[in-house]
Amino acid sequence: MKRGGTDICAMLAVDKPAGASSHDIVNAIRRITGEGRVGHCGTLDPFATGLLIVNIGPATRLSDYVMGKSKRYDALIRFGFSTDTDDRTGSPLETGELREELLDKDFAASLLSGFIGKSMQVPSAFSAKKVDGRRAYELARNGMGAELKPVEIEIGEISLESISRVEDENGAGILWSVGMEVSKGTYIRAFARDLGMKAGCPAHLVELRRTAIGNIDLSQAHSIDEISVDGLRNCFIDPVEACSLARCEVDAQTASLVGNGSRIGIDRANLQQERIAIVYDGRMLAIYEALAEGDPQAATRICKPCVVIPGGVEGVR
């Protein structure tokens, strides 16, 4: 099948296994579908597992509307030493004393709660951030460390699941299992590094599993082995839900106007948000937003297109 010439326009939720890169998953979906226009909504490191939302065909134009959503993770953090990548794949750097208070759940809960809210975070040196047009991890691997600027992040929720000791080839350690909800751009590896600094004992990320992106969670995801051409449409997720939008069902005449990128009037009662998904015949045709001007008392508001998807995105429930 020639890649790039299919009629598929949809979104998938994939449960990425450890060892595969996000790009590996994209390539696998390309092979399965024969569609060259495939992209993902937020990178997961190869050692990490969990939810990866993949867009196929013209649905790749919706990526920015998904990547900005909050994300949930289950993280396992090891105290005892730091690494140059801030995770288990790196080389050990600084070591520290495993004080008994690291086993105290009250101490852990108090320390973790201090990270809730907005803060400035310096990304990991091995992150995908660009510095003068090059990825930070490329510079780091070549011994050309770059000074990364802190970025604003927000941690909405954080909870301690368990504390345990570990003894292995790397020596003794203490593990904290943590659940988190974070904003776009938050590096959990960098969080583990910063947590160790606040705890007074170097730490790094051992395991990471993404469990949700916005309204989509792992209950809707399929392993790459479960996805096939014949059963592909059974794996599609609802694009409206993935973009966290309200929906407006339109008739055939309005759908034709939407397809042409025309402005349309939308019942004010449907506009709980400034942006809304336009749906016709089980497909998401576009994302529209309300114009600022107009009669504030009018029953309808004039809206303009943010993005129009030719033929629409399948999977609307």
Active site residue 84: no
Residues β-bridged to residue 100: none
User: Which residue of the set 45, 86, 87, 238 is catalytic?
Assistant: 45
The single-letter code of the amino acid at 239 is: P
- Sequence-ordered strand ranges (E) for the chain: 10-16, 38-40, 49-56, 71-79, 81-83, 92-95, 117-121, 130-131, 134-135, 151-168, 171-182, 203-213, 216-217, 246-249, 264-267, 275-280, 283-290, 300-313
233's enclosing H/E stretch is: none
Question: What does the alpha-carbon distance between residue 88 and residue 73 come to, in Å, rounded to a whole number?
Answer: 17
- Our CA dihedral for 305, 307, 310, 316, rounded to 10 degrees, sits at -100
Active site residues: 45
